[in-house]
Structure 1
């Protein structure tokens, strides 16, 4: 069975020009399936049917693979059978109607308002930190994606009107408000930028060499900022966007407005932040409501009764 897998991987590499990383991933997934099929007594790809693959998916799930990982396995199997059909080595594609189990959606990590304020109020120690604080103020102020921040040009931000023109996913443009703190940070950054960037450079945020700052550099600088300024968790660009969304929803309760600000095409994408907001409310409830604290109160009462009995 491995011989057909090898031929398929060579096909991906030579004809489809897939990367070596993709080819390696496909090969590992298919070899894992081949081993399982041999253990089940099946030694021919042509003999595999939908029932076999449903059992295989169940086996992967029992081993702890997430729905996303199983979906990747199924994608490799479908592509493999497309190749076998083309080569007339199979009569159908048994993976076409197989669906992976749904993964439990992980809630995004956010920083609380006090931590955000502490980090962004920290004083920059050098010209590059003036740029860094400006970037992070703008990300949090307007809920920008990493790619949106990196692609910003000088003319995209209107400091008089307090607005930024952002090009998001799918080339869609949206106009976003820019907060006072972010506008102040931009005003501090502009003289520093003028010393670094040549006149022809359009990017708002530039490196020490004067060219547009890369995604990787922005990620590294935010991680560094968190370490230097005392963050209690590792910072990454999307955390600032998640924090913006969560804090906006917590204060306003306007899901549609937050959807527009984030540039989500589907409101169900934005609804994940309602779960974060509910978690916050649940913690407040547990800490504050007298009936939610009845166990602690009862324990306290038991202790008090014990003390009175001993007196």
Structure 2
């Protein structure tokens, strides 16, 4: 007797859990594939009867009913394709109709950037006069330094504990997308800022153990993602910078400035935690002036 679609989905989800996929990824896969299975039921279709035309009809249905963007459609299709690929490999299906079905991808926009001088203006601004605001500034400065110094994602910064930091070797252990762990360096400025923040940390919380969160509120609670975002924006405004600064923009700046000065795409890929080099390659299109300089210096026909 053939296994039902939802039972297959349950089996697939258990395998993804064993592979240590993140909860966010699991939720997205489950939602996307469940929606497609519901659509198949409404059309009286078994999974082994699905063809590329049915996928096209489903995606058209999603656009009409939910007005999904191109990127959301790509995600839906990717989830369905991976599920059916797994089912095909397990011989639960004879073919995967998603193999030859593709959506036209929109060109990836270049990430916004902040120039190095503006970064310095934010990070090197003077402390506020109020004692409490001075303490908050030392915490925020440490957060800003680590976001820019190591190219951390917001969730990676928020999840940092003291036992993730090797202060002597200036290395961080961070857990990124898919619960994948990597080790990244940080600079002297970030180290100095962390040491100053620890002094305030002790005033707020007293003695601490290595398993505690690095960035906390005055009440000793780990800062939420929204609180970190708000503090980053606030410190940019306080520095008189008109840029809408957010943690991911500092990650973009880290990647672009590192790549511009080193030219080492593989090293930047490793530090960012990108699984595919193509994701990192977007930053090769940002600094045209640097590329022109490299060309002038290196190409035998570039100079007179």
TM-score (norm 2): 0.65
**Aligned residue among 166, 188, 198 for 2:196:** 188
CA contact under 8 A between 2:32 and 2:80: conserved in structure 1?
A: no
The aligned residue for residue 76 of structure 2 is 72
CA RMSD of aligned residues (A): 4.6
1:59/1:116 Cα in 2 relative to 1: closer, same or farther (>3 Å)?
Answer: same
Question: Structure 2: which 5+ residue stretches go unaligned?
Answer: 14-25, 84-94, 296-304
Distance 2:153 2:227 in 1: 15
**Aligned residue among 268, 273, 277 for 1:258:** 268
1:132/1:45 Cα in 2 relative to 1: closer, same or farther (>3 Å)?
Answer: same
1:121-200 maps to which residues of 2 (within 5 A)?
121-125=124-128, 126=133, 127-161=135-169, 163-169=170-176, 170-179=179-188, 181-200=189-208
- Which protein is bigger by CA-based radius of gyration? 1
Distance 1:27 1:256 in 2: 38
Distance 2:154 2:225 in 1: 7
2:222 paired with 1:212:
yes
TM-score (norm 1): 0.63
Q: CA deviation at 1:132?
A: 0.3
Q: CA deviation at 1:44?
A: 6.9
**Aligned residue among 225, 233, 256 for 1:246:** 256
Question: Structure 1: which 5+ residue stretches go unaligned?
Answer: 1-7, 35-42, 80-91, 286-311
1:230/1:174 Cα in 2 relative to 1: closer, same or farther (>3 Å)?
Answer: same
Q: CA deviation at 1:136?
A: 0.3
**Aligned residue among 42, 46, 50 for 2:52:** 50
CA contact under 8 A between 2:164 and 2:174: conserved in structure 1?
A: no
1:114/1:54 Cα in 2 relative to 1: closer, same or farther (>3 Å)?
Answer: same
1:258/1:27 Cα in 2 relative to 1: closer, same or farther (>3 Å)?
Answer: closer
Q: CA deviation at 1:135?
A: 0.9
CA contact under 8 A between 2:146 and 2:186: conserved in structure 1?
A: no
Q: CA deviation at 1:149?
A: 1.8
Distance 1:241 1:99 in 2: 31
CA contact under 8 A between 1:206 and 1:213: conserved in structure 2?
A: yes
The aligned residue for residue 114 of structure 1 is 117
1:145/1:67 Cα in 2 relative to 1: closer, same or farther (>3 Å)?
Answer: closer
Identify which of structures 1 and 2 has the higher relative contact order when contacts are C-alpha pairs closer than 8 Å and 6+ apart. 2
